[in-house]
Amino acid sequence: MAASSGANLATRFLDNVKSLQGVPYVWGGESRAGVDCSGLVQLAAREAGINIPRTTSAQWAALQHISASEAQPGDLVYFVGADPPSPGHVGVVDGTGHWSMIDAPTTGQTVHQQAFSVPGVGDMRVVGFARLPGVHGGATLAASATPAGGGGLFSLFMPPQALAFFDDATQFVNSAMWIMNPENWLRIMAGAVAVLFAVAGLGFLLKAA
């Protein structure tokens, strides 16, 4: 019965994650209006009745760690960030063998499915896998876990949004790189010019009328 219950909980959690596909990435977001990577996991877990910490590092510290060979759909995969070995990104495993996950990647993208590799390289190098409490028989949270947020000493004086910033530093760097990319600036400028022409055209038509 326990195994069946754990499988059902995993299905509920994974269904919640899948239902969030298409939601935009919002740094510090933790609602269906927008989520970041750890916010996606916490929101889907909360909707399944599972209470876990908010940030990637706090989740990783609190949850049961499992091996890659033990990972099943509904388990979590954590990747390095800007300050290893603390994880900076998390996704929800939805396929094993040919690994795939659902995650909230970075600013300008939405929650979606993508492939990953083990052990991975660069920012996508896998730190490890973890299992939610009650999912596939997952253990309860570590006694020191703080579901409302985490981050050790910093959590005493920093809000969860600030902790999420440091825990999701990889996403911040990716966003900064996107902004600094000249091609993206060209797209922004082209869009601005198009808007100006549209406004000018509308003004001309109104004037002519």
Confidence of residue 193 (pLDDT cuts 50, 70, 90): confident
Query: Which of 58-67, 100-109, 180-189 comes out lowest in average pLDDT?
Result: 180-189
Q: pTM, whole model, 2 decimals?
A: 0.66
Question: Is residue 175's pLDDT more than 60?
Answer: no
Q: How far apart are CA 42 and CA 28, in angstroms?
A: 12
Confidence of residue 119 (pLDDT cuts 50, 70, 90): very high
Query: Which of 29-38, 60-69, 90-99 comes out lowest in average pLDDT?
Result: 90-99
> pLDDT exceeding 90 applies to what percent of the chain?
53
Q: How far apart are CA 122 and CA 138, in angstroms?
A: 29
Q: Any long-range contacts for 25-34 (C-beta under 8 Å, 24+ apart)?
A: 25/104, 25/105, 25/106, 25/107, 25/108, 25/109, 25/110, 25/111, 25/171, 27/107, 27/164, 27/165, 27/168, 27/171, 27/172, 27/175, 28/160, 28/161, 28/164, 28/165, 30/54
Token pair 């549209």 is found at 198
Amino acid at 138: G
Q: Can you give the residue ranges of every domain in the chain?
A: 2-178
Q: What is the average pLDDT value for the chain, to the nearest integer? A: 79
Confidence of residue 204 (pLDDT cuts 50, 70, 90): confident
Q: Which residue has the higher pLDDT, 97 or 122?
A: 122
CATH class (in words) of the domain with range 2-178: alpha beta
Q: How many CB atoms neighbour CB 106 within 10 A?
A: 20
Q: How far apart are CA 110 and CA 24, in angstroms?
A: 4
pLDDT digits (tens, 9 = 90+) for 2-49: 454 667 899 999 999 999 999 999 999 999 999 999 999 999 999 999
Q: What residues contact residue 119 under an 8 Å CB cut-off, 6+ apart?
A: 125, 126
